[in-house]
């Protein structure tokens, strides 16, 4: 391997202590978690305190060359062009882009047919994000550019069958980019890689199920297996899956939620008694102020912009708290307006609706400081306007820990607030002035908040603000964690959780006449460690891409390669399917837009959106091929083969008719009584929500203020804080294309966004190549050859795309209490290389193309 200049310690900008380790893996203690001293009323829900197990950082530089199957995407460049970032999201470009993408990828007829049924009451639920559909009126095209892309990608008419896998070994496939893997097409047959094999080969379904059963039944304990779930899996297969796992005998049910809104769920459960948001879509139309923190709706929840546009038309003001001015937070042109003759001309000529009234350009993880500053101003305002700013009656009747919180707030100094947030006291007063006379306040947040070391406590400050204002459980007000995957919230409701509540386990055991395990299982982070040190020997994955989505890519790869068995249930290929255990199965499933015929006729499934509405999803397209089964059929197939006569459950009946599954759910999970009737109601039904009615079912029956000691998190002068982002052309690890149109990035994903002053200080020019080294507890991880791009981002912060940068995120760097990887807080040094990337550079010779 060629030695890159960044390996010279001085050029890589390492501190003396780090230089001493010379990039050799060293062990580091896992940080203590969940012990913030002032938060004695916070329950960590039985998270294992695994602070004692030393973790070894993989040597990321040599690791990537150690194995023929690459765990990281290839480093070749794909041709970067830079333009000015957009100030307007959506508009006619979005409509054209979505149509082009859909027609290109899914084929004209299949694509448009699918789009017309997307999110309609008699259609299928969009498999993209979890933003809700309007309760009453749905426009003919209730989709967005990215929903259209997700649907087009799902319904791809291209196929990859056994001959494709015979042509390409796993090592070959791993040299494709993530985009090319996703765009290769739909998997059409079950496939197996046996010990020693270099290729996946066709296998029959009964053989595949038997192979799973033989491997699982050979384990010494059911706890040697982990069963991962990604949030696209609908309720019915999710319920059947967790039942299979618990009948098998373990609670090892890690899921993508562990990396997503785990921090939100933890805070909300402790503070308001329910780990979900409290608002409905209609609340947006009645809100006076909407705060949007750590979220990029223009790309990740585009239909939210329609709600924000309506809110603005109804008089709401919007405060955006984000290190970046994302296009969707700036201006929005509603694509649906182009279809409305009264609005079409305005939409075509104007700049769209301005969204943000006040932008606070916070430094990464400065949110707690921002919120403290706003609340300090509110206390001042209350002094001047007694009884008009804070809701004393609400505080008195419903909350606990108010006095301790006030004390802590008063103790937080303005100097600390300004330093940590990067925002002046006067600007914070502007935000406070917008909030002071108002009660109908909604706060939305997403990954910018949850993927931080102190995420649980920062989100606690959001709740604090709402409790001060009594802005929970009244129309137009409430807490709104904006969920990611379309059914990630539903999967949790169905029991996809490594720490199930006792009442749930009791009910499950009673319904299915077995003794389920009560001991808590492993989450996504703990699973990674357990794989690595040999405690886990089999990994079954319902959708998702654990390898690329988890932190510390090379660490995960080392763990996966040691396993006896990996099983992946998926419609499309991803990198995670290539880094396998000794035996590996790739089992293709139907997607939501396809018709699912079982013995009792056409079946449908259901999903729960971000606001707790459960609705049905019924496919309309012909399945991609006869070799593909539904997720329910695959789960039940594995269960029948594995559990044999140990189970009393009628898995066949559940496969033949999903109503049978729903009848079980109705008896096990509160809120689902009469499920089969309610789900058939057009538009679905709302699940019960305590906080929405000011019922706070915490251990003390109160809404709890969170009291956290304010801490400054400092990094060395030469270090930067790296956050990970999604581009406009990806859905998590599924890369649709190399562009990030709104941010002015075209043709390339290996970029790092830097503040121009930070670039100058390091002698880095635009389009120069750099190496990035992350520093954690004396360990280093490295990502080589990224292209520097100057961007409007706070000094000291930088950004790169997920999953390319995940190799830099240390597996042991997790949020307190929730154990969620800190993917938005990675301490790095950035070292320039001599090379520049010329305009429009491509290195096609280095890119494997799909034949």
71 binds, among Mo ion, ligand MGD, none (CB under 5 to 8 A by kind): none
Among 12, 71, 226, 233, indicate the residue that binds ligand MGD (CB under 6 A).
233
Print burial letters for 465-497: b (CB count within 10 Å at least 16), e (below 16): bbbbbbbbbbebbbbbbbbbbbbbbbbbbbbbb
What end-to-end distance do the CA atoms of the chain give, in Å? 29
Q: How far is the CB of 361 from ligand MGD (least distance, A)?
A: 9
128 binds, among ligand MGD, Mo ion, none (CB under 5 to 8 A by kind): ligand MGD
Q: How far is the CB of 447 from Mo ion (least distance, A)?
A: 7
For ligand MGD, give the closer residue by CB, 224 or 367: 367
Q: How far is the CB of 825 from ligand MGD (least distance, A)?
A: 7
300 binds, among Mo ion, ligand MGD, none (CB under 5 to 8 A by kind): ligand MGD
Of the candidates 187, 255, 215, the residue with the CA atom closest to the CA atom of residue 546? 255
Q: How far is the CB of 755 from Mo ion (least distance, A)?
A: 27
CB 640 within 8 A of CB 213: no
Q: For 70, phi and psi rounded to 5 degrees?
A: -80, 130
Q: Which of residues 241-300 bind Mo ion (CB under 5 A)?
A: 260
How would DSSP label each residue in 246-280?
A: HHHT-----BGGGGTTHHHHHHHHHHHS-SS----
Based on C-alpha coordinates, what's the Rg of the chain? Answer: 25
- Interface with ligand MGD, residue 606, by CB under 6 A: no
- Interface with Mo ion, residue 810, by CB under 5 A: no
Stretch that binds ligand MGD, among 8-16, 43-51, 78-86, 321-329 (CB under 6 A): 321-329
- Interface with Mo ion, residue 130, by CB under 5 A: no
264 binds, among Mo ion, ligand MGD, none (CB under 5 to 8 A by kind): none
Q: Write out the E strands in 743-847.
A: 745-746, 751-754, 768-776, 779-790, 797-801, 826-836
- Interface with ligand MGD, residue 367, by CB under 6 A: yes
Q: Which of residues 623-682 bind ligand MGD (CB under 6 A)?
A: 631
**Cis link prior to 819 (omega < 30° from 0)?**
no
569 binds, among ligand MGD, Mo ion, none (CB under 5 to 8 A by kind): ligand MGD
**Please, what sign has the CA dihedral across residues 69, 73, 75, 79?**
positive
Measured distance CA(600)–CA(277) in Å, rounded: 36
Q: How far is the CB of 423 from ligand MGD (least distance, A)?
A: 11
Binding mask 556-595 for ligand MGD (x = CB under 6 A): -------------xxxx-x--------------x-x----
For ligand MGD, give the closer residue by CB, 807 or 833: 807
Q: How far is the CB of 545 from Mo ion (least distance, A)?
A: 12
- Interface with Mo ion, residue 782, by CB under 5 A: no
Phi-psi region of 664 (alpha: psi -120 to 50; beta: other; left: phi over 0): alpha
- Interface with Mo ion, residue 484, by CB under 5 A: yes
Bridge partners of residue 734, in order along the sequence: 731
- Interface with Mo ion, residue 481, by CB under 5 A: no
Among 609, 732, 768, 780, indicate the residue that binds ligand MGD (CB under 6 A).
732
- Interface with ligand MGD, residue 356, by CB under 6 A: no
Size of the site for ligand MGD (CB under 6 A): 62
- Interface with Mo ion, residue 13, by CB under 5 A: no
Run of H or E residues at 289: strand 289-293
For ligand MGD, give the closer residue by CB, 678 or 781: 781
Q: For 402, phi and psi rounded to 5 degrees?
A: -65, -45
Q: How far is the CB of 117 from Mo ion (least distance, A)?
A: 25
Q: Count of CB atoms within 10 A of residue 677's CB? A: 11
Of the candidates 459, 474, 521, 495, the residue with the CA atom closest to the CA atom of residue 265? 459
Of the candidates 713, 666, 671, the residue with the CA atom closest to the CA atom of residue 689? 671
For Mo ion, give the closer residue by CB, 156 or 262: 262
How would DSSP label each residue in 522-591?
A: --HHHHHHHHHTTS--EEEEESS-HHHHSS-HHHHHHHHHT-SEEEEEESB--GGGTS--SEEEEEEB--
CB nearest Mo ion: which residue?
Answer: 484
Residues that bind ligand MGD (CB under 6 A): 127-129, 146, 230-233, 256, 259-260, 293-296, 299-301, 321-324, 326, 362, 364-365, 367, 446-448, 451, 484-485, 542-546, 549, 569-572, 574, 589, 591, 631, 723-726, 730-734, 802, 805-806, 809, 823-824
């Amino acid at each position: 391997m060629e030695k890159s200049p960044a390996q010279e310690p001085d050029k890589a900008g390492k501190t003396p202590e780090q230089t001493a380790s010379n990039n050799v893996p060293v062990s580091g203690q896992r940080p203590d978690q969940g012990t913030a001293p002032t938060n004695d009323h916070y329950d960590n829900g039985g998270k294992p305190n695994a602070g004692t197990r030393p973790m070894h950082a993989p040597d990321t530089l040599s690791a990537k060359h150690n194995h023929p199957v690459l765990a990281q995407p290839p480093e070749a460049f794909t041709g970067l062009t830079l333009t000015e970032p957009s100030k307007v999201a959506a508009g006619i470009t979005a409509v054209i882009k979505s149509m082009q993408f859909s027609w290109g990828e899914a084929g004209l007829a299949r694509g448009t047919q699918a789009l017309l049924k997307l999110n309609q009451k008699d259609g299928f639920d969009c498999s993209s994000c979890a933003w809700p559909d309007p309760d009453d009126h749905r426009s003919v095209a209730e989709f967005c550019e990215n929903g259209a892309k997700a649907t087009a990608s799902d319904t791809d008419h291209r196929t990859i069958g056994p001959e494709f896998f015979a042509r390409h070994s796993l090592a070959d496939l791993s040299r494709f980019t993530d985009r090319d893997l996703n765009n290769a097409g739909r998997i059409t047959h079950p496939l197996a890689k046996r010990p020693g094999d270099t290729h996946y080969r066709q296998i029959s379904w009964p053989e595949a199920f038997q192979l799973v059963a033989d491997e699982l039944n050979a384990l010494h304990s059911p706890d040697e297996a982990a069963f991962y779930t990604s949030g696209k899996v609908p309720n019915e297969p999710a319920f059947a899956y967790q039942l299979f796992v618990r009948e098998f005998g373990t609670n090892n049910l890690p899921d993508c939620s562990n990396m997503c809104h785990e921090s939100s769920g933890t805070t909300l459960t402790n503070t308001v008694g329910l780990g979900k948001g409290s608002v409905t879509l209609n609340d947006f139309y009645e809100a006076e102020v909407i705060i949007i923190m750590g979220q990029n709706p223009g790309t990740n929840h585009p239909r939210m912009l329609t709600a924000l546009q309506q809110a603005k038309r109804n008089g709401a003001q919007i405060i955006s708290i984000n290190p970046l001015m994302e296009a969707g937070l700036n201006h929005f042109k509603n694509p649906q307006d182009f279809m409305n003759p009264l609005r079409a001309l305005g939409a075509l000529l104007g700049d769209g609706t301005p969204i943000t009234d006040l932008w606070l350009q916070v430094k990464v993880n400065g949110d707690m400081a921002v919120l403290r500053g706003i609340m300090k101003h509110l206390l001042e305002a209350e002094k001047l306007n007694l009884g008009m700013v804070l809701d004393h009656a609400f505080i008195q009747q419903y909350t606990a820990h108010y006095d301790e919180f006030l004390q802590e707030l008063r103790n937080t100094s303005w100097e600390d607030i300004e330093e940590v947030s990067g925002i002046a006291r006067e600007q914070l007063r502007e935000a406070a002035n917008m909030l002071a006379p108002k009660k109908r306040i909604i706060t939305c947040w997403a990954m910018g908040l949850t993927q931080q070391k102190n995420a649980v406590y920062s989100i606690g400050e959001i709740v604090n603000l709402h409790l001060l204002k009594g802005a929970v459980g009244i129309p137009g007000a409430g807490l709104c964690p904006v969920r990611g995957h379309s059914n990630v919230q539903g999967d949790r409701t169905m029991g996809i959780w490594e720490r199930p509540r006792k009442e749930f386990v009791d009910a499950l055991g009673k319904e299915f006449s077995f003794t389920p395990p009560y001991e808590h299982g492993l989450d996504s982070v703990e699973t990674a460690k357990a794989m690595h040190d040999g405690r886990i020997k089999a990994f079954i994955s319902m959708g998702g891409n654990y390898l690329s989505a988890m932190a510390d890519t090379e660490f995960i790869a080392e763990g996966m390669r040691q396993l006896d068995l990996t099983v992946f249930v998926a419609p499309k290929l991803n990198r995670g399917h290539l880094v396998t255990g000794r035996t590996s199965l790739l089992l293709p499933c139907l997607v939501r837009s396809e018709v699912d015929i079982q013995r009792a006729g056409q079946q449908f499934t259901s999903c729960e959106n971000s606001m707790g509405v459960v609705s049905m999803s019924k496919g309309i397209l012909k399945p991609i091929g006869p070799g593909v089964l539904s997720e329910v059929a695959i789960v039940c197939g594995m269960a029948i083969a594995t559990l044999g006569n140990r189970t009393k459950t009628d898995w066949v009946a559940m496969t033949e008719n999903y109503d049978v599954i729903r009848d079980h759910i109705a008896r096990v999970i509160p809120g689902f009584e009469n499920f089969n009737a309610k789900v058939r109601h057009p538009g679905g039904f709302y699940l019960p929500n305590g906080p929405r009615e000011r019922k706070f079912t915490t251990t003390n029956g109160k809404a709890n203020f969170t009291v956290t000691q304010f801490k400054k998190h400092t990094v060395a002068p030469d270090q930067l804080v790296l956050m990970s982002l999604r581009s406009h052309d990806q859905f998590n690890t599924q890369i649709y294309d190399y562009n990030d149109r709104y941010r002015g990035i075209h043709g390339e994903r290996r970029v790092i966004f830097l503040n121009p002053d930070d670039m100058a200080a390091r002698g880095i020019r635009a389009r120069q190549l750099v190496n990035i080294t992350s520093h954690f507890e004396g360990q280093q991880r490295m990502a080589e050859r990224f292209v520097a791009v100057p961007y409007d981002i706070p000094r000291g912060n930088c950004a790169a795309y997920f999953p390319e940068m995940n190799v830099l995120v240390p597996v042991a760097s997790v949020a307190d209490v929730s154990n969620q990887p800190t993917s938005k807080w990675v301490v790095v040094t950035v070292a320039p290389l001599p090379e520049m990337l010329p305009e429009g550079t491509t290195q096609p010779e280095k890119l494997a193309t799909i034949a």
